[in-house]
Structure 1
């Protein structure tokens, strides 16, 4: 899949490759971390690759959070909540809070799913967005820097 996404980015005209990186970073499981790696490997300056990957993932996450919040608001009108679908995330949420799940959750599930689940559990939409943005930036920078540092190793 990553190779197909790299081919998609490479097929775009050079001035639009940054936009292609943002688009692939909006895909769950690609996120800012693989998006930033793809951007760096495609020849974008690391800062640009990381920035557009973070923006693509961030915009996608915001759409999921706002959708989940709207659905939760509708469902909760006059109804009692049922057992959450994502029980594992719920236990982590109860144990580590929004920050912990946001920062570590991307190792298990995409930020879009994690953030939507947190909001569906009743977590503050603003806090979820805040911590998810920090997580998206952190993971994107870590993987983008690693890809940037690894590029010289690949060319030797």
Structure 2
């Protein structure tokens, strides 16, 4: 899938390749970190690649958070349904690490969209989730952008 996204991005006119990276960054499990690498490997300037991947990921995450917030508001009255084992485990991590911890570390296990939606469904502040998710998306995007740039530079020097 990553190769297909990279090929798609490379096939776009040079002035629109950032759009391909932004679309890739919006896909759960690709997000800002793989989107940054896709853009850099496609030949985009690392700053443009990271920025495009981050923007795509942030837009996608915000759609998930805002939708979940609306659904939660409507469903709060209908409580009583038991949690699944996966949801209970995610809630346990949320209770232990809070919004900042889950936002910063959660991307190692689940996409930011799913993690953010789950935190809002647990009752976390929508604004706090959005804020910390944006910080996390930027940090992961920059980290993987730097790693991809170093890798490309190392390979081109061989």
Question: What TM-score do the two structures reach when normalised by structure 2?
Answer: 0.95
Give the CA deviation at 1:13.
1.1
**C-alpha distance in 2, partners of 1:136/1:115?**
11
Give how far 1:150 is off: 1.2
* Cα distance per residue 1:66-114 (max 9 Å; x no partner): 00001001111x3225334422211110100000000000000000000
Alignment of 1:17-96 (within 5 A): 17-76=17-76, 78-85=77-84, 86-96=87-97
Q: Secondary structure at the match of 2:10?
A: helix
- Equivalent residue, structure 2, for 1:8: 8
Shift in CA distance, 47/137, structure 1 to aligned 2, threshold 3 Å: same
Inter-partner Cα distance in structure 2 for 1:54 and 1:84: 32
Question: Does structure 2 conserve the Cα–Cα contact (< 8 Å) formed by 1:10 and 1:17?
Answer: yes
Q: Secondary structure at the match of 2:120?
A: helix
Q: Is the 8 A contact 1:89 1:101 kept in 2?
A: no
Q: Extract unaligned runs of 5+ from structure 2.
A: none
Q: TM-score with structure 1 length normalisation?
A: 0.96
Q: CA RMSD in A?
A: 1.0
Counterparts of 2:113 and 2:80 in 1: how far apart (Å)? 21
